Structure 1
Amino acid sequence: MRTNETAGLFQPLDFERSLDDYDIHWITHGSVVPPVALSICYVIMIVVGPKMMENRKGYNLRGFMTLWSLGLAVYSIMGSYRMLEAALYTTLDSGIRGVVCTGVVLDKFPVRFWTITFLLSKFLEYGDTALIILRKQKLIFLHWYHHLTVALFVWYSAHNNYGGSNLFITVNLTVHAFMYSYYTIKAAGYRLPRFVNIFITTLQITQMVIGCSTIGYLMYSGPKEDCKTSIAHVASGGLMYATYLYLFAQFFYKTYFAKRPQNSQ
């Protein structure tokens, strides 16, 4: 496969050229076993982890959490910039349909690098849940359900090169650039104004609206040569994003607007 560079203000850096055709083979032709096995281990951790920590004191992982979140923040900021730049050129060249219908881009630098590392990062982010368990924090359904399903769905979409994959990656990286920056500041012990929390959750809800809209467009357009999809793809993606939207909206309302019962004297 001959690779081309994506036009832009900045040409690919050396590390963005580091992946060759062999490195991407696992995405297009790889086995389903590794992602499924990792996800099964993740579910086992969710079930067994809290029980193992029941009689233990939660670990103080502030320093590690700060570095962990900082690493993911820097990665997401760099990745979102590159993907947004590519999306801009796609829009100018092919319009909105081109952005919505593009699958995974593996024939152009630097998008190829950020696409592949993004897919890997979704499984790395299972570590977020491990940190919650080790610190004996409350593990809510929204957290682990989101981590589990998004990792499997983006791999499934990329593996089949379904339309919307590139847009899903771009939006997710952009939201995570803000989200992990927030987590970094919070882990470092700084308190942020309430509106920052509201802003982050609003971004997450916006991501789900974009996801639902993209799936709706793919379903409406039907499987075409320039907009590849399938019934299983739109069904699983539609269900996933619809539940995300509901759960994040519910979290938003309960956290920021619902009146909490007053303690009786």
Structure 2
Amino acid sequence: MELSEDAKFVDRVSEFVVAYDFEVYDIIGTITWFREHRIIMYSIVGLYLFSIYFGLKWMKHRPAYTLTRPLIFWNIGLALFSIICTLRGIPEALYNFSKPDRTFQVICVGLPHNYATSFWALLLVLSKVVEFGDTAFIILRKQKLIALHWFHHAATLWMCWIGYEYYETTGRAFFVNAFVHSFMYSYYALKAMKIKIPRKISQALTTLQIVQLTLGMYIASATMYFLAQGRPCRMHFETVCMGGIIIGVFLVLFVRFYIDSYSLKNKIKKI
């Protein structure tokens, strides 16, 4: 299996962002490692689901842990990480979107590329394993664990891992996810601090998630459109099809969650 053009032609310094020394790494070697060790990802997801099942059983007859201080630092850490990812990912995206036929360029061609963008995209993939800790806090604090939460975490790791394996051009849109998480984890940190936050903020965050997923569906649809036109597109079939299905499921679940949580009918019931 050939490595993508992005992996072969990565400039350390380009006109849109300068990569720091620590951001320069062996991209081809890392991609190869991901491809040869996909079983690790499946094992992590399996262990995650296993831990959820037995964690809920273990906490069933135990008092809830408070964990206020650890939760505050946890969310602040993830918020800061997401902000950095956003700032490092935006310059390359803006540069590529400034070109003619920008949608095709970004989705199917996506050159030029930079070490800084690649490095933080890789860290974002790895952060999806770390974010499983969100579920641990929910279980230990005996909060309600909805299917949307654990399915979203497990499937997101799957998509990100596969996307990095094929080093997809659209992976450079990772900053969109980081941007959403910047607000999301900041919101969770403030809630953990017992700061009263208007319900409209929570509603706006869910709306932001839906917008992100709608963008993902647009990318999948645009890829299929370009392929139907016979235009060369280096997005991999597995990523487009399976990723599109998962994002579609996410979108339905988030819209349903939005309606259940914020619809007028639901508000009347609560009154």
TM-score, normalised on structure 2?
A: 0.86
Which residue of the partner structure matches residue 92 of structure 2? Answer: 86
Contact 1:76/1:174, CA 8 A, preserved across alignment = yes
1:203 aligns with 2:211: no
- Consecutive unaligned residues of structure 1, counting only runs of 5 or more, are none
Q: CA separation in 2, counterparts of 1:36 and 1:177?
A: 27
Match of 1:139 among 145, 153, 159: 145
Q: CA separation in 2, counterparts of 1:99 and 1:129?
A: 34
Contact 2:97/2:106, CA 8 A, preserved across alignment = yes
Cα 1:166–1:138 shift into 2, 3 Å: same
Which residue of the partner structure matches residue 4 of structure 1? Answer: 12
Q: Which amino acid aligns with 2:59?
A: M
Alpha-carbon deviation of 1:84? 1.2
Which residue of the partner structure matches residue 216 of structure 1? Answer: 221
Number of residue pairs matched by the alignment: 258
Q: Which amino acid aligns with 1:141?
A: A
Alpha-carbon deviation of 1:23? 6.2
Match of 2:185 among 176, 180, 184: 180
1:133-159 deviation per Cα after TM superposition (whole angstroms, max 9, x unaligned): 111111000000000001101111220
Q: CA separation in 1, counterparts of 2:126 and 2:198?
A: 33
Cα 1:224–1:33 shift into 2, 3 Å: farther
Contact 1:142/1:247, CA 8 A, preserved across alignment = yes
Cα 1:21–1:122 shift into 2, 3 Å: same
Q: Secondary structure at the match of 2:66?
A: coil
Q: Which amino acid aligns with 2:163?
A: S
Q: CA separation in 1, counterparts of 2:109 and 2:157?
A: 19
Which residue of the partner structure matches residue 119 of structure 2? Answer: 113
Q: Which amino acid aligns with 1:158?
A: Y
Q: Which amino acid aligns with 1:189?
A: K
Match of 2:164 among 158, 161, 170: 158
Alpha-carbon deviation of 1:109? 2.4
Alpha-carbon deviation of 1:12? 3.0
1:171 aligns with 2:176: yes
Q: CA separation in 2, counterparts of 1:104 and 1:113?
A: 16
- Consecutive unaligned residues of structure 2, counting only runs of 5 or more, are 1-7
Match of 2:104 among 86, 97, 118: 97
Q: CA separation in 2, counterparts of 1:104 and 1:135?
A: 46
Match of 2:68 among 37, 40, 62: 62
TM-score, normalised on structure 1?
A: 0.88
Percent of residue pairs bearing the same amino acid type: 31
Contact 2:31/2:164, CA 8 A, preserved across alignment = no
Q: CA separation in 1, counterparts of 2:148 and 2:190?
A: 22
1:200-229 deviation per Cα after TM superposition (whole angstroms, max 9, x unaligned): 011000011001111111122228544322
Q: CA separation in 2, counterparts of 1:58 and 1:104?
A: 51
Alpha-carbon deviation of 1:50? 0.4
Alpha-carbon deviation of 1:27? 5.1
Which residue of the partner structure matches residue 4 of structure 2? Answer: none
Which residue of the partner structure matches residue 252 of structure 1? Answer: 258
Contact 1:24/1:116, CA 8 A, preserved across alignment = no
Q: CA separation in 1, counterparts of 2:116 and 2:186?
A: 23
1:54-87 deviation per Cα after TM superposition (whole angstroms, max 9, x unaligned): 1111111111111111111001011011111110
Contact 2:96/2:111, CA 8 A, preserved across alignment = no
